[in-house]
Amino acid sequence: MDVPAAKKYMIATDVGGTCTDTVVFAAGEPIRIGKALSTPPDFATGIFDSIESAATAMGKSRDGLLAETYLFIHGSTVVDNTIFTRDGAKVGLISTEGFEDTIKVTRGAYGRWGGLTEDRIKHIVKTERAAPLVDPALVLGAPERVDAAGEVLRELDEKEVEKMLEFLVNEKGVDAIAVSLLWSFINPVNERLIKEVAARVAPNVYCTLSSDIAPLPGEYERTSTAVINAYAGKITQSYLTDLEKRLAETAYRGQIMVMQGYGGLLPANEAADRSVGMLECGPAAGVIGGKSLGQLLGQPDIIATDMGGTTFKVSVIQDGEIEYAREPMVDRFHYSAPKIEVVSIGAGGGSIVSIDPLTGEPKVGPQSAGSRPGPICYGLGGAEPTLTDVFMLIGYMNPDTFLGGTMRLDVEPARKVFEEKIAKPLGMSVNDAAIGIYRLASAQITDLIREITVERGLDPRDFVLHSFGGSCGMLSSMFGAELGVKKIVVPYTASVNCAFGLVSADIVHQYSATKTLPATASAHEVNAIYEPMVREAAEQLKREGFSEETMQMEWSVDLRYARQVHELTTPVRASIPLDDQGLAMLISDFEALYERKFGKGSAYREAGIEMKLFRLTARGLLQKPEVPKLPFQGVDAKGALIGRRNIFVEARAGMAPADIYDFDKLQPGNVLSGPAVIHTPITTIVLQEGQRGSMDEYRNVIIEFA
């Protein structure tokens, strides 16, 4: 895509649950940041507030900025929000006759325990399935059947289809229809027939076919995906249409790109049809941001951590590759769309600290005070002690400099409540208890990170830790040290990482074909499967304005050992289309990956290897803005030193004096030693004793261990 001469700005806005963040890029200019509160359900207002906040920081008006902008990239929690608030369409579902209960039965207990923590799972009697997004009375069985080979055993009569649609649309008044028939991903003929008839007799009804939205095996997850897509379909369409309209009312004339949960962008008109694609797109953007930062800094192996107000999220980038979730869920619903794997626990800045009434043990989260009423020290009505209050008590936060001094924090009320509710029951002093809770939170996070790395056969000591989010900087030097990571990077854009990730992404279309081929198949057979997908992808990208040079096709294959259930997505490294050597390389890559992830001796090779799913990631490469590189100013950080105060230092097992720095005054090249605290307008970074901090040429803070 060419950048029109007069327009130099690229704007990326991410609508999160609490905040809407904006990042503005232009070649040769510093990155500008904007932040505003999110405004559900009319998210567009928050978007414009956020853009305005960035414009103001640049000394421009909102419309003035937009007039000079050539691209607007967007991620939003609108679909997640629709699911969580149960605010979607009235959906009708058509399943194969005899299997109408698929969506209600959720593969047995799977839907009953899915998404619950172990504590809740143990309490079996109190667990329940979430009510499905489609009313059970609106599920019909189509008299049709296709088998595993794609053979039509029972044809679908058009008259029958009309009858079903008559019932759902005219009698029951559904706004959206989901269609999910057995084996439709192998042979979609009957699903397509339903869509044709629906277009004819009910053109205003939003219709989703499972073979379009999630052409993957596993009818429960596929049906669930179709239902979610239908449920949030119209809302997504009107949200994006409304956004387009409001932008058109300004001087903005460029395109709108929308982030997807798999870490790629789609043009708005396409994203409008794939509401399920927007699930968790914020965190996905965050991971892309981490990957991009890693590329900039020459770090292919990253543990990306993001601590917000309510949750602590982790994802892993290995050899520059991101990992996709194998059993994605939103709320309590399973679905199967490509989605970047991000695991989380309820340990955010607003997480409430409590004592278990039965065992007397201290707990962090999962409930959160959010930002309203928020931590006690915010003075906005919070009455429960939170992690942020703990950070205050151990001296990490400066009550006078929070949010650039615009909000004064008061530690005394927090101290009193903490003493009564936490310290006294634990039989500890306020100080010791606060330190203890801090250590507990750090340990929980360490355990979570170990879980996500160990599960893949990875060793945290081989990784660099990226610390994103408002509160993360106060904990990462602690858990990073315990994990033994190589170093910690706290990026300049830490607090708006998701927005930063948006501008690091490409247009990405995901395609897949399900077919079982033995590893002994010829490369020719594999190429034959990819050929139609590649053709379709190339045509699609061409329509979107990309040429051969700006397109990139990436192949990856899901393989498994024939008698075992574990499937691994293995990237194709050889040149494509494949020759026999290239296919052999894929097979041996799979074996190496399998052994690393599942353990030595875990492969039953004698059963043979099968290829099960062929994935195509088709990229339209977008010009990425260059992160401005600043010249080094020397190692002396004294110019940024603003004082000293006591903070919790792990090595001293208590409070000890530390240097306090102002981030804005730090220069690239400056070096400082822990224990130390760096205050930025939005975040705080803590260094422990024996750690060495420095600012790189991009204004990222790097923490290294002695």
Partner 1 sequence: MDPITFSIVRHRLFRVVEEAVITLKHVSGTAITNEGHDLMVSLYRADGSLLMGGVGFLHHLTSAAEACKAIIRRFEGQIEEGDVFMLNDPYTAALHTSDVYMLAPIHHEGTLVAWSACFVHVSDIGAMNPGGFAPDAGDIYSEGFSSPGLKLISRGELRRDIWDTFLNMVRSPEMVALDLRSLIACNNVAGERMLALIEKYGADTVDEVGRTLIEQSENLLRQRLLELPNGSWQSRQYVDVKGETSKILLTMTKQDDTLTFDFTGSSPQSAYSVNCTKWAALGGLFAPLFPLLCYDITWNQGAVAPIKMIAPEGSIVNCVRPAPVSVATVGAIQSVNNAACSAIGKMLAASEKYADEATAVWHANHFAVFMFGRTREGRLAIDTLTETFAGAGGAKTYGDGVDIGGEMPNPISRMANVETVEGAFPIRYLFRRRMRDSGGAGEYRGGLGGEIAIVPHGSPDGGINFVLSGKGSKFPMSDGLAGGGSGASNDYVLIKGAGEDSRRSGETDFESLRGERKPISWGVFPLAKGDAFYLRWNGGGGVGDALARSVEAVGADVVNGTISELAAKELYGVILKNGQVDMSATQDCRARLKAARMEQGAMA
Stretch 114-153 residues interacting with partner 1 (CB under 8 A): 118-119, 121-129, 136-137, 141, 143, 145, 147-149, 153
Bridge partners of residue 343, in order along the sequence: 314
User: What is the nearest approach in angstroms of partner 1 to the Cβ of residue 209?
Assistant: 16
Residue closer to partner 1 by CB (options 402, 561) is 561
Residue closer to partner 1 by CB (options 404, 484) is 484
Residue closer to partner 1 by CB (options 643, 654) is 654
Q: Which residues between 79 and 118 bind partner 1 (CB under 8 A)? A: 97-102, 104-105, 107-110, 112-113, 118
Q: Quick one: which segment of 214-222, 229-237, 305-313, 642-650 binds partner 1 (CB under 8 A)?
A: 214-222
CA distance 556 to 621: 18
What is each CA distance from 528 to 57, 267, 297, in whole angstroms? 54, 29, 39
Q: How many CB atoms lie within 10 A of CB 90?
A: 15
Q: Which residues between 286 and 305 bind partner 1 (CB under 8 A)? A: none
Residue closer to partner 1 by CB (options 126, 159) is 126
Residue closer to partner 1 by CB (options 434, 503) is 434
User: What is the nearest approach in angstroms of partner 1 to the Cβ of residue 645?
Assistant: 24
Closest CA to 466 of 634, 287, 329: 287
User: What is the nearest approach in angstroms of partner 1 to the Cβ of residue 122?
Assistant: 5
Who contacts 570 (Cβ-Cβ below 8 Å, separation ≥6)? 556, 557, 558, 559, 586, 589, 590, 593
CB hemisphere CA count around 500 (13 angstroms): 22
CA distance 254 to 245: 12
Who contacts 322 (Cβ-Cβ below 8 Å, separation ≥6)? 263, 287, 288, 291, 315, 340, 341
User: What is the nearest approach in angstroms of partner 1 to the Cβ of residue 118?
Assistant: 7
Q: Which residues between 638 and 697 bind partner 1 (CB under 8 A)? A: none
CA distance 507 to 272: 15
Residue 615 is classified by DSSP as E
Interface characters, 443-482, with partner 1 (x: CB under 8 A): xx--x--xx--xx---------------------------
Q: Which residues between 525 and 554 bind partner 1 (CB under 8 A)? A: none
User: What is the nearest approach in angstroms of partner 1 to the Cβ of residue 317?
Assistant: 21
305, burial (CB in 10 Å: exposed 0-12, middle 13-18, buried 19+): buried
Residue closer to partner 1 by CB (options 167, 598) is 598
User: What is the nearest approach in angstroms of partner 1 to the Cβ of residue 484?
Assistant: 12
Residue closer to partner 1 by CB (options 182, 377) is 182
Q: Which of 219, 341, 389, 591 binds partner 1 (CB under 8 A)?
A: 219
Count, residues near partner 1 per rule CB under 8 A: 78
Interface characters, 491-530, with partner 1 (x: CB under 8 A): -------------------------x--------------
Closest CA to 649 of 680, 682, 691: 691
* SS3 at position 436: helix
Counting every residue, how long is the chain?
706
Q: Quick one: which segment of 378-386, 556-564, 584-592, 689-697 binds partner 1 (CB under 8 A)?
A: 556-564
Per CB under 8 A, does 602 bind partner 1?
A: yes
User: What is the nearest approach in angstroms of partner 1 to the Cβ of residue 181?
Assistant: 11
Are the C-beta atoms of 670 and 635 separated by less than 8 Å?
A: yes
User: What is the nearest approach in angstroms of partner 1 to the Cβ of residue 295?
Assistant: 30
CA distance 110 to 106: 6
Bridge partners of residue 25, in order along the sequence: 10
User: What is the nearest approach in angstroms of partner 1 to the Cβ of residue 570?
Assistant: 16
User: What is the nearest approach in angstroms of partner 1 to the Cβ of residue 565?
Assistant: 5
Who contacts 45 (Cβ-Cβ below 8 Å, separation ≥6)? 39
Residue closer to partner 1 by CB (options 562, 587) is 562
Residue 603 is classified by DSSP as -
Q: How is residue 335 written in tokens?
A: 């679905």
Q: Which of 25, 48, 70, 220 binds partner 1 (CB under 8 A)?
A: 220
Residue closer to partner 1 by CB (options 188, 470) is 188
Q: Which of 171, 548, 549, 606 binds partner 1 (CB under 8 A)?
A: 606
Q: Which residues between 411 and 440 bind partner 1 (CB under 8 A)? A: 426-428, 432, 436-437, 439-440
User: What is the nearest approach in angstroms of partner 1 to the Cβ of residue 323?
Assistant: 15
User: What is the nearest approach in angstroms of partner 1 to the Cβ of residue 86?
Assistant: 19
* Helical (H) or strand (E) element with 121: helix 118-122
Residue closer to partner 1 by CB (options 226, 502) is 226
User: What is the nearest approach in angstroms of partner 1 to the Cβ of residue 602?
Assistant: 4
User: What is the nearest approach in angstroms of partner 1 to the Cβ of residue 693?
Assistant: 26
Bridge partners of residue 304, in order along the sequence: 315, 466
CA distance 329 to 339: 10
Residue closer to partner 1 by CB (options 427, 631) is 427
Q: How is residue 97 written in tokens?
A: 């006759």
Amino acid letter, residue 201: V
Who contacts 52 (Cβ-Cβ below 8 Å, separation ≥6)? 34, 36, 62
Residue closer to partner 1 by CB (options 182, 666) is 182
Q: Give the dihedral sign, CA 630/634/637/638.
A: negative
Name the residue with tokens 């042979």.
187
Q: Which residues between 348 and 367 bind partner 1 (CB under 8 A)? A: 358-362
Asked, as a colleague might, if the bond just before 668 is cis with ω within 30 of 0, I would say no
CA distance 418 to 386: 9
Are the C-beta atoms of 34 and 55 separated by less than 8 Å?
A: yes
Q: Which residues between 162 and 191 bind partner 1 (CB under 8 A)? A: 182-183
Residue closer to partner 1 by CB (options 200, 605) is 605
Residue closer to partner 1 by CB (options 218, 366) is 218
